[in-house]
Amino acid sequence: MANTLLMPKATAVWLVDNTALSFDQIAEFCKLHPLEVKAIADGESAQGIKGLDPINTGQLTREEIAKGESDPEYRLKLAQSKYVVPERRKKGPRYTPVSKRQDRPNAILWLVRNHPELKDAQISRLVGTTKNTIEQIRNRTHWNSANLQPVDPVALGLCSQIDLDFEVQKAAKNRPPEPVEQGDSLLPASMTENLPVDDILSTPVRPKEEEEELDADAVFARLSSLKGSQSEETEEGQEGGEEQ
């Protein structure tokens, strides 16, 4: 990957103040428009920006600046950086150094116990393992299950705390909401009109089924009493007839 100029506008401020380079040369080097460089020189732009010395950052040499000052047609060349910036990690399992690979099972066991909401793919991204290994540790079928001890992967240096928090928050968002327990229902208004407040709060509401059962018992009891009274009247009538 080709080198890229760091903080081009701050670099342009420094070159305007400290060199005799033309506006076109500075604009070409900093990837700016010549009118923007002229505005910097006139104090109309970048007033709050502190100049950045490209020599100290290793992006430009004094010899290169001297060449540009002696020849207005010369175009400055960006110096090759002495440091190699690692590229951004691509998607997939995290690479784990050989010296720390023996600690991965302990880290997986810690994640499985302390964050069961994490998916296998998330654990794989954090510690650089496979789903098969995660499944073996979760089911205790791993060849070294008897000797495994749960250890925080951050403490082992297998992942950062930021990465762990990110995966945990992501798993929490995807978790389905827990069912809310319903409390006792309120009494009907007809039952609470003449009751004190304490009685209203303490009186439980009977389910409809119980009310129906109670009503049915009352009906049967009423029928039994009616039958009993009718039988008594019949017996009295018969006794009266015999006496006559």
Q: Which two tokens stand for residue 134?
A: 């995660």
pLDDT exceeds cutoff 80 at 191:
no
Q: Summarize pLDDT for 60-82 with one digit per residue, the tens.
A: 899 999 999 999 999 999 887 55
pLDDT at 178: 60
User: What confidence tens digit (pLDDT) does each residue in 23-41 have?
Assistant: 999 999 999 999 999 999 9
pLDDT digits (tens, 9 = 90+) for 89-145: 455 555 555 556 788 999 999 999 999 999 999 998 998 888 999 999 999 898 888
Q: Any idea which of 77-91, 167-181, 214-228 has the lowest mean pLDDT? A: 77-91
Closest CA to 35 of 53, 6, 44: 44
Average pLDDT for 162-172: 87
Q: State if pTM tops 0.85.
A: no
| Contacts made by residues 71-80, CB under 8 angstroms, sequence distance 24+ | 72/22, 72/24, 72/25, 74/25, 75/25, 75/28, 75/29, 76/21, 76/25, 76/28, 76/29, 78/3, 78/5, 78/29, 79/3, 80/3
| Alpha-carbon gap, residue 66 to 19, rounded angstroms | 9
Instruction: Report the pLDDT value the prediction gives residue 237, as an integer from 0 to 100.
Output: 55
C-alpha to C-alpha distance for 41 and 36, rounded to whole angstroms: 9
Per-residue pLDDT, 80: 74
Distance CA 44, CA 53 (A): 21
